[in-house]
Structure formats: C-alpha cells, structure tokens
Structure 1
C-alpha cells in the first residue's frame, strides 16, 4: 500500500490558514467568515507554481476568498457554493463595477428611508417564519428583541425599495455582518447558543440598529469602494470572477464545465466534524429571505456535503479504502453510545462525496494540473478518522498523483476526545493530475 510523503509546514501555514488575518483586508473583511483561510494562502500557491494557471476551480466557495484573490492575478475561477448566503456574499465581493458616486447615492436613499420609519414595520415587512426569531409573549427564548427586530426590518424594507440590485445586494452584506452581534445568541462551534445573561443586556432601540448598519457601510465598505475606483483609474477595467460563481451543489455542477479546461483547484471542503452550516448561518439565511420556510431548509440540507447528521442519509455503501474501513469497524464498537444514530452513514457518505468529486474533477482537469486540498482529520469516541490519507487514496484512485501532504496546523479535538487524542492534524494535500 502506497505510503504518502508528509512534509512539516507548520511554520509556513500556521499563520495563514485562518480567515482572521483577512478581517481588515481589502474586500475580504466585509464579513467575518471564521471557517475560511486567508488570502495569503492563495498568494503562496500562485507564487510556488511553475506555470501560470488560466482556469481554477473552487468546489466549496464559502465566502469567496479563492475567487476574489485570484482576480488580482487575472485568473478565471469557477466557484461553486450550495449555501445561498455564502453565494450572495461571495458574488458581492467579486464585483468590480461599484462606483463611489453610485454607492453614496444609494446610501442617501437608505438614510431617507430610515429617517421615515413605519411604526409597526412588521405589518409591511414581516419577520421570518422561524418560530423563535423574534420576541413574543408566548416564547421563553428568542433570538432578536422586538425593537432590534424592528430596526432590522426597517433596513430590509429600505433595501427592498432600492431598484438597483447591485447596491441592494451589496448593502445586505454589512447587515448580515451585524446580525449575530445584535442578537441574543453566538456561534458556539456547531450550533447557536444563547449569550450569558442575554435577558439582562440592554435592549437596542431600533434607531441604534440603523446607526450601526450605516456606520458599517461608511467605515468598512465605502473605503474599499474608494480603493476599487482608484485601482480602476490606474489600471483600467478590473478582472472579475462574478459571472463564474454558481449557486448549487458542486458534485453536480462541475459536470457543466468543459473537459480538460481546468489547470488548478484550490479548495477546503467542509470538515468531517458533524457541523451543519445551514444551522450555524441560520440567522443570515432566514433574515435575508434566502430561506422562507422549513421545507426550503430541509431541501438545502439535502444538497450539502454529508459532513453532518441533520439529514437521515439512509444506507450508504462503504468505499474500499483500508483506513476508512478500519475507522468504521472501530466506530461500530461504540454504536451503543452514539449521540446520533446516523453517525456512521455521515462518515461513509462524506467520503463517497469526495469520491464523486474527484471522479468529476479527473475529466475537467488538464494533465499536470495541480490540486491544493485543505482538510483536517476528525475523531469520534477516541477513533481518529484519517481524512488526509482517505482523501488521498480517493484522489489516487481517480488518476491524481499525491505529491505531498503538508502538515499545516494542529487542531484541538473536542473535550471528550482530548485525553485519547492530543490533537488532530489539518493538512494541505498537494496533487497533480496524471
């Protein structure tokens, strides 16, 4: 059995594999997407390549870091994203046709609308159907206090009345970045949890919500639009991947690309950590009307990579990969302690999805094209799932040569695993299409 070449890259990658380096960077800082990597990671890949790529694919676009950063190098990036909030965010960041005058004109319209608010705004701009989204007498817990929700609805109403889709979409991004901050909850790993003492926190007035929103437009978005216009005056029309970003399941949509047209893949799929991003970004999805009912929520979950247990996946075949078979066998010994009965199907389904992805990528990629695949190992009940090796074997089975597995970071496992497994390895798998 092939042994893979592991390379210690902790010093190189530890500082650049986390999105927090992007928080104050041009365009990347519009929304704090904690699961992503930094723009420096993309830059490091382009700098080390011994060829100039023409067409990159990003199967799991997330907030669009890969496609946005490749615009600076004038490299086309076909990016795919199944989560409609992430898709909206990524596309807004990829646009290069914003103007300072257009931005200021529409901010003025917003300010006029927010100055003349409708007293019971929820009667003309209803809150989402999600049952605990807004404070109600019959609820013990709610995500937004009544006045806070009214402030948000005022902004949504104003945005809906902007007849320029380019700016109405852009203005949703600072609103989205504000939602968690002014809510009663926070992101707690895989779920949303209520803030400590949330009922005792001073309630925001609806005018406070308007102010916070307008400040983000002025202080975070506008400076970047000014920079963008300066770049255009200096260099002419800027390259954009806006029209190469697609909403939907990459496992299906990659088939639409031309065969032998791709010479680079840079991606980081959802990790096998039972995290459902429709849950963690639930507020943004509902509040921006990207999900309007529970059936749409269920359908979205079905389209995501099988890295969570929120959907009963049913019986799933097991790939013939030694490391995967070994992990499944060990996990079966703990079946009576499973916190969710779909756990084994999630693990099997995840790698079946990886198998389908690499099968399709094989046809789309040019010979000698490179793949940079950022993944991390997982652990359940003291059983480590060696995602790095399993994904590498999957890719090898579809005609990809594993050049090296770069050790990027050591990740702390959950508290339940800590005594048995001191850390989990995050890696960048570097491959070449044969």
Structure 2
C-alpha cells in the first residue's frame, strides 16, 4: 500500500487516497494534499499529509481501534482516522480550529444545509446597511479608518462579513451553523488588506489602492459552501463516523482521553511565535474573541512555545543533557537574543511536551506508538535540536524512541539568512 522514496531530502509516501487515485505528498507537510477531500476548506501550510496516519497505522503492531491527536489543527488525523475505520479523539485549544475540525468530521444533513444556505443568502440580501460594522473587542486597526491610516478591512467589506455572520447565527441547526461559520471564516483573509504567513500577518503590497468589492465575500462563501457540501455528500459513507473532540488546553485535557492504540500529531514548534496570531482575523471576525482578556487567556492555554506575551517559564523534573547544553549555550549568547526569555522558553516547551507525552503514554497500550512531526529552531546561530531532546526524555516517560528521521528542511528566519536548513523530523516512540 505504501512505497517510500527519497527525493530532494524529503520522505515521500505513495498513498492511494480516498478518491481511489494515487497522490504524492511529503510526510512533514500537506504540500500536494490540496486536491484531497476537505483540504480546500482552508489552506494549512503547517499541516502534515494524511499519508502519515496510514503509515503509522500500518507500522504499529496489533489492531488500531483508537487514534489520538492532542493538537488537532486542521483535523487531518481525525479525518484520516475516520476513513481508515479508526475512532479518533482530538484535542484543540483554538475555538475556530475546533469548529473547523468538527465541521469536517461530524455528521451533517447535506440537504438541510443546502436549504439553509438559501436562507442565509436571502437574509444577507435583505439586511440593512450598518453605519459601523461591529467586531466586539477587536483591535482599533481592524476596520477602516483604523490607526494612522492602517486597517485590516475596508468598511464595506466588513459590513458584508457582519451581515453573513449575523445571518448564520439565526440558523437553528448547530451543525449547519458551525459549518457555515468556519466557511465564512475562510473568506476573511482573502477579502482583507493583509496576508498571513507562517509567522504572522503583514499588509499586502499596494493594499491602499487595492479595494476589494464586498461581492468577493459572496463569491468566497458561495464557492466554499458548494465545495464543502460536495465533500460532505461524496464522503459521507466513511468506515467510522464516531469521534470525540476535546476543546481546551492539551496539557490539561490529555488526561481525559480513553485508552489508545496510536497517536499521530504535530505540536506547535518552539520558534518564539504565538500561532494564535495566525488565526486572529478569523477569531475576531466571527466572534470567537470579543475582548483582550479572552485573547490573552487563549494564548496562555497554548504550549509555552513563544515569548510574545509574558508567561511563567519555570519548569522542573526534565532530565536531558542535550536540553541542558542547549540552554547553557543560549544563556551564554543572551546578548544576541532578541528576547531574554528564549533560553527558559526552550526548557518550558520541553516540560510542556513531557506532560503531553506522559499523558499519552499512561493510556497507550503495550506496543502502541506515537508519531509526531516536530521542528528544530535556531537562535543566535545556536541550533535547538527539539527532535533529539524529545527522544532523549521519552524513556523517562515510559516510551522507547524507535527512530528520529528528517522529513524536510524548513527555512530559517530572515535574521538567520532564510535558508532551508532547519530540520523538521518525524519522531517515533513506542510504549514499553
């Protein structure tokens, strides 16, 4: 079913996808997976390919009944598990991403959704133009005039988004409402004055003279709904339709999972960047966030992988000579670091990952496995070998490291030259 082949430094898996055709995608990224079902609902540059779940299930001895992903993201693991006939459990702290995952994996009445789409469009057409579109609690740069002439949405575009948001909120079916909400969210960034990269937002080149029509919202939402309903109908007969979605901090909720056979996931990488920022436009536009306090609370529920807000970076009980050496090197180069908390962040991140791995190990059956894709970092030209560190601490958590293999090379930050030289690795652990 699978064929491994080396190509340009990346591990590739040939995999018969759900449409019956063969597709090639790297294990460490979802490159090439855009043609697969459900992948076009929102682009996830950082997601791994669904082939990895098939590889993990094939290589793990015994029957796979329960599959876990403590960092749900785009829902790749949960969705692939359903297609493979394996019951998935997913944890996701970001409320927008949690809704996106559930919209993909929960049963939905497609015919009812199609009728509801007509109602939503009709409400939007009959809505009265609001003087100022309201995004409760959002930053002042959210809507024109913004601050110092900089803003994310032109007012007429913002009005159309609010009209759709309010029309969707009137739908009585929670599954349909959730589906439409995440599909509208996917139209927000394309209709805005910004672009989102792997490390945050920036204004589009020439955005001041690029004024999109509110009609682009109509087109994006319509096309998104049609595409989603097509996927949901075509792939409704999956081998497994059961699932469990736990919303919240993975460090707290990992203890609530049932006994499992396999875990496949990719956690946030310790690159000092808060991934919550990538989704802030969707979070504020759709009302997932309505105050600065909620934004801060959400950030604090993520792994300590960033220093964009102040957090307690203390930790204890982690035994790793590689971690200790790396932190000492970073401390020695503290004057070159852009933030003095970076050395402690690396230790805190490792401690947080230890909580996740220990929680999984306690519920993992004998010979059950963990497959995780992790990325190394670099600060002041000092390498932070996260994959090696996590493999090193795993025996103390009841897990045996089987292999650490590079998946692909990530680009270093512009300050480090931007070259594709940071390793992204697949770490495979087994329960003793």
TM-score > 0.5 by shorter chain: yes
Structure 2: which 5+ runs fail to align? 14-24
Q: Which residue of 2 aligns with 1:239?
A: 240
Note the C-alpha offset of 1:389: 1.0
Q: Which residue of 2 aligns with 1:173?
A: 182
Partners of 1:265 and 1:371 within 8 A in 2: yes
d(CA) in 2 for partners of 1:380 and 1:74?
43
The structure with the largest strand share of the pair is 2
Q: 2:230 aligns with which of 220, 223, 232?
A: 223
Note the C-alpha offset of 1:425: 1.4
Partners of 1:122 and 1:153 within 8 A in 2: no
Note the C-alpha offset of 1:287: 1.0
Partners of 2:313 and 2:344 within 8 A in 1: yes
Partners of 2:135 and 2:287 within 8 A in 1: no
Note the C-alpha offset of 1:337: 2.4
d(CA) in 2 for partners of 1:17 and 1:338?
28
Q: 1:210 aligns with which of 208, 214, 218?
A: 218
Q: Which residue of 2 aligns with 1:112?
A: 122
Q: Which residue of 1 aligns with 2:17?
A: none
TM-score for both structures, normalised by structure 2: 0.90
Note the C-alpha offset of 1:422: 6.7
Partners of 1:60 and 1:79 within 8 A in 2: yes
TM-score for both structures, normalised by structure 1: 0.90
d(CA) in 2 for partners of 1:315 and 1:108?
50
Structure 1: which 5+ runs fail to align? 1-6, 233-237
Q: Which residue of 1 aligns with 2:301?
A: 303
Note the C-alpha offset of 1:401: 1.0
Cα deviations across residues 208-259 of structure 1 (Å, max 9, x unaligned)?
42233222212x2122133135x37xxxxx62244x111011111121234x
SS of alignment partner, residue 274 of structure 1: coil
Cα deviations across residues 344-385 of structure 1 (Å, max 9, x unaligned)?
221111001012222222211111111111112111111001
d(CA) in 1 for partners of 2:390 and 2:82?
29
In the superposition, relative to structure 1, how do residues 263 and 212 fare at CA in structure 2: closer, same or farther (>3 Å)? Answer: closer
Q: 1:56 aligns with which of 67, 92, 95?
A: 67
Note the C-alpha offset of 1:42: 1.6
In the superposition, relative to structure 1, how do residues 145 and 402 fare at CA in structure 2: closer, same or farther (>3 Å)? Answer: same
Q: 2:43 aligns with which of 24, 32, 41?
A: 32
Cα deviations across residues 135-158 of structure 1 (Å, max 9, x unaligned)?
027642100000110110111111
Q: 2:154 aligns with which of 145, 151, 157?
A: 145
Cα deviations across residues 53-108 of structure 1 (Å, max 9, x unaligned)?
1112211111111011100122112110111111111111111x223321211011
In the superposition, relative to structure 1, how do residues 312 and 137 fare at CA in structure 2: closer, same or farther (>3 Å)? Answer: closer
d(CA) in 1 for partners of 2:313 and 2:411?
31
d(CA) in 2 for partners of 1:316 and 1:281?
27
d(CA) in 2 for partners of 1:127 and 1:198?
25
Q: Which residue of 2 aligns with 1:249?
A: 249
SS of alignment partner, residue 432 of structure 1: strand
Cα deviations across residues 316-350 of structure 1 (Å, max 9, x unaligned)?
13633111111111111221222122212211110
Partners of 1:413 and 1:422 within 8 A in 2: yes
Partners of 2:136 and 2:290 within 8 A in 1: no
d(CA) in 1 for partners of 2:387 and 2:369?
17
Note the C-alpha offset of 1:122: 4.4
Verify: 1:278 aligned to 2:276, yes or no. Answer: yes
Partners of 1:121 and 1:154 within 8 A in 2: no
Partners of 2:127 and 2:163 within 8 A in 1: yes
d(CA) in 1 for partners of 2:359 and 2:219?
48
SS of alignment partner, residue 178 of structure 1: coil
d(CA) in 1 for partners of 2:157 and 2:145?
13
Partners of 2:401 and 2:428 within 8 A in 1: yes
Note the C-alpha offset of 1:315: 5.0
SS of alignment partner, residue 129 of structure 2: coil
1:49-128 matched pairs, under 5 angstroms? 49-95=60-106, 97-120=107-130, 122=132, 126=135, 128=137
SS of alignment partner, residue 409 of structure 2: strand
Q: Which residue of 2 aligns with 1:333?
A: 332
SS of alignment partner, residue 405 of structure 1: strand
Verify: 1:378 aligned to 2:377, yes or no. Answer: yes
In the superposition, relative to structure 1, how do residues 146 and 422 fare at CA in structure 2: closer, same or farther (>3 Å)? Answer: closer
Q: 1:158 aligns with which of 145, 159, 167?
A: 167
